[in-house]
Chain A
Amino acid sequence: MSRTWLVARREVVENVRTKTFWIGILSFPVILALSILIPTWLQSRIDVRPFGVEDRSGWLLKELKASWSLPDLPKLAAALRGEEDAPPLPASGLPACLREGGRLKAALRALDGDRLQAFLGSLPLLAGLSSDEFSEGLGKGAAGAALGGFPLPESLKREARAFHREVLELRTWWKGLPKEEAEPFRGPDGFGRYRLEAEAPEKELKEMLARGELFAYFVINEDPVEGSKGAEYFSKNLTDTKLREWMTRQVSRIVRARRVAKLRLTPEKAEWLNRPFRFASRTLDASGKESKVEKSDVVLKWAPMVFVYLLWISVFILAQMLLTNTIEEKSNRIIEVLLSSVSPRQLMTGKIFGIAITGLMMVGSWALFFILGVEILPLLFPEASRIISEFELARILAEPIYLLSFFGYFLAGYLLFASLLAGIGSVCNSLKEAQNLQQPVMILLLVPLFAMMPVASDPNGTLARVLSFIPPFTPFVMMNRAGGPPETWEYLATGVLLALTVFLTFRGAAKVFRVGILMTGKPPRIREILRWLGAPTGSIPKRGD
């Protein structure tokens, strides 16, 4: 055993000295940091799409701009009510309309549910009107539409005008709010990613588009409330449809409100009409009790996929490392010296374990980086905290089944594939030869990767179950299913099967290794290798032709 350990230790020292090892270790935190920071950065900067509009209706664009001038009202309302998962209120303070005594504040407090939604939906329309326009149109036109189109007595009109002034005040406050404080209240349809670059006749817009100053432009038809005939979208980019979809949602919302007004429906009725049908998501917990599905539960169910990726990448990298090292040792001709001191099995075992230790160091460092990253990145980059909070690290770490499965299946999966590749490496004289021979193994490795999505979405389905019982797939598929989780007997049965396969593969590989490692010339065919498995130790079977 001590010789095996010597070989293993040399292997670790040698690998730790290579650039590949450090690139492997350092690339992970770099990728992790980038995967968190790049989306954050992209969201704020790159994705700005300048667009132009020709508004032939004369009013739609104005209302759109008004709605873009307000914060995400449902979020703001939730924050004002002090609801649990609402973002904190802006530190620089609130406008009078949102403080005690403000009409807006009183309305937000008094209303709830559908009525609140309907009320909030009408605010952008109000914000689009100047005071004069509002006074003039009370009882008719746009303002009338917003209020349901009902004629009002004079006292109420006065009240309505005061209310309207509050809405304008809200708009002014929002416009002046510092960017960081505004961030949590930026609506999903907010104006962040798209910039209205030009309002001009189509001819001009077309030229701007041709010059590349615009990403796209819209033509709004004369009567959008009536129908969308004549409304057009022009862009040179046909794959990114996000801007068009976003604009469609915005316009639809306003058009819908107009249609509601035209039909003289109350906002409540309109809201009811538009409300989609929803199923509430419930699941059974371990004791069979019914419980509500929370976001973190969903994250937890998908977390195994991250582990499968890590598992796959580490097994892949390490098995490749072993293959390369074996071939190098063989082409170096150092192997014969080693074989005069250690047995081929000790040599192979030593190499496999040496690289396993290297791998554990790598994976361990990744885990460390991951934890550090989740803890430290939000301190350095506050914007990143939103993405990081979705990792739900604490909940994942609190489930021992994930980490235990990961390390267990890492070892089993690694041993299985490392033995295969050590065997292959031993019969090849160059990496090129090895690439041909390792193809079947690579295909074996790819299957669990392709099956990852289907297995994750149905962890206890037939596909998942069947794949779990095919030993080369077991480590990946069982890890993938951890969110299920599989039943105990499945863990036991697949575990025994896997252990047996690892044992047999290892023995077989040791045999091939012994014959192959001293062999030079044309690599043997798979049929020949299979025959070696049955041959007595130390003999060189006849080469087939």
Chain B
Amino acid sequence: MMEPSLELAHVTKRFGDFTAVDDLSMTVPKGCIYGFLGPNGSGKTTTMRMIMSIFYQDEGTIRILGHDRAEEVKDRLGYLPEEKGLYKKMKVGEIVAYFGMLKGLDKREAWTRARDLLQRYGLGEWIDKRCESLSKGMGQKVQLLGTLIHDPELVILDEPFSGLDPINMETMRNTIRDLGREGRTVLFSTHVMAQAEELCDYITLIYKGKVRLSGTLSEVRSGGGRGAIRLDYEGDGSILAGHPSIERLNDAGKTAEIILKEDADPQDFLADICGKLRIRRFDLRDPSLHEIYVRTIGAEEGREVSHV
């Protein structure tokens, strides 16, 4: 088997008494899109910073593109941190080219690519404008271009979707998908499960610094236990809330994900609600990532979590 792009083995990081990452192991195969999931504060950013050698782990090993330290392969990595910033006074073209040069491109190459990328992402007119004149969404796009300008083999994106509007989210999604198709490895973190579900080949879910779930998307979903019912409906959903057959309910108002009790029959349940709600779709399938997430983290918390 090919050597994985990234391999973490028993990595632990402590800040004083607080253990941010606890004995974390994870393998990112070459050429896959890998989702790194977990609620806020679970250790995702710290892990990514360790991968990038911005922090050093206290214990464990990290192998990245066949090396022990990201510092040795910096030029082959692209990193988009969660908190994104630009030099306000620099021009858009300059800053993208500057990031390229910092990754070892020569000046001419960096400028050619910067112009191409900006053109391709619809920012061609902005090349000579200062960064401070960009809107937030455009600024994030410029950041992303700065991350990708040197054609990195491994792209690490920390919460790439946070704060994006639907159009930019679409662009980000397409970009990640295209990177995957080009054979690059992408590791991105998120706490919105739908995004992971759409894109990822593999996922790892961490909580409180520990790995809770890991594997390919289908492995994780099929391992998620009993199937879930996806229900699209119209009418008063409150009858669902107290229904005796339902074990857990993720009700979004017009759609709901329902896990029935072990002894309940989906057919009986359908028959029961049929007269009370106008049903547009009734779909029994593997639980969604969201459901798995809620189930896993909720169990850990020792309480019922219905919304995240």
Contact = CB atoms under 8 A, between A and B. Distances in A.
Contacts of A537: 56
B236 interface: no
B79 A540 contact: no
B17 A542 contact: yes
A334 B86 contact: yes
Q: Label chain A's interface by main secondary structure.
A: loop
A386 B300 CA distance: 86
Interface string B123-146: 000000000000000000001001
B88 A340 contact: no
A360 interface: no
Contacts of B81: 333, 336-337, 340
B90 A518 contact: no
A377 interface: no
A6 B105 CA distance: 12
Contact of A341 (B49, B55, B90, B99): B99
Interface string A182-195: 00000000000000
A62 interface: no
Contacts of B87: 10, 14, 329, 332, 334
B83 A333 contact: yes
B90 A14 contact: yes
Given A334-B85, A337-B146, A6 B54 contact: no
A540 B225 CA distance: 41
Contacts of B143: 337
Contact of B79 (A6, A337, A539): A337
Contacts of B86: 332, 334
Interface centre among A17, A18, A332, A518 (most CB of B within 10 A): A332
Contacts of B103: 341
How extensive is the interface on chain A, given as a class? 20 to 34
B71 interface: yes
Q: Label chain B's interface by main secondary structure.
A: loop
Interface string B74-88: 100101110111111
B58 interface: yes
B55 A6 contact: no
B52 A337 contact: no
Nearest to A339: B54
B49 to A, nearest CB: 8
A336 B83 CA distance: 8
Contacts of B98: 6, 10
Interface string A1-26: 00100110010001001100000000
B166 interface: no
Nearest to A335: B85
A332 B139 CA distance: 12
B96 to A, nearest CB: 12
Interface in A523-545: 537-543
Nearest to A520: B83
Contacts of B53: 538
A538 B143 CA distance: 25
B89 A337 contact: no
B41 to A, nearest CB: 14
Contacts of A335: 85
B77 A538 contact: no
B101 interface: yes
Nearest to A540: B15
Interface string B14-44: 0111000000000000000000000000000
A252 interface: no
B102 interface: yes
How extensive is the interface on chain B, given as a class? 20 to 34
A353 B243 CA distance: 70
A337 B55 contact: no
A342 interface: yes
Interface string A325-359: 00001001111111111110000000000000000
A103 B83 CA distance: 93
Given A539-B56, A539-B58, A340 B85 contact: no
Given A14-B90, A334-B85, A542-B17, A343 B71 contact: yes
B89 A518 contact: no
A184 B77 CA distance: 76
A333 B15 contact: no
B88 to A, nearest CB: 7
A339 B85 CA distance: 13
Contact of A542 (B16, B79, B102): B16
Contacts of B70: 340
A537 B57 CA distance: 11
Interface centre among B71, B80, B85, B86 (most CB of A within 10 A): B85
B55 A540 contact: yes
Contact of B54 (A17, A336, A539): A336
Contacts of B89: 14, 17-18
A337 B85 contact: yes
B144 to A, nearest CB: 11
Contact of B74 (A6, A17, A340): A340
A539 B13 CA distance: 9
A340 B52 contact: yes
Given A341-B103, A342-B102, A537-B56, A332 B17 contact: no
Nearest to A17: B89
A332 B132 CA distance: 11
Q: Which 4 A-B pairs have CB atoms at the shortest separation, nearest pair first? A: A538-B56, A542-B16, A332-B85, A340-B79
27 contacts: A6-B101, A6-B102, A7-B102, A14-B87, A14-B90, A17-B89, A329-B87, A333-B85, A334-B85, A334-B87, A336-B49, A336-B79, A336-B81, A337-B80, A337-B81, A337-B85, A337-B99, A339-B52, A340-B54, A340-B74, A341-B102, A343-B71, A518-B49, A537-B56, A539-B55, A541-B16, A542-B16
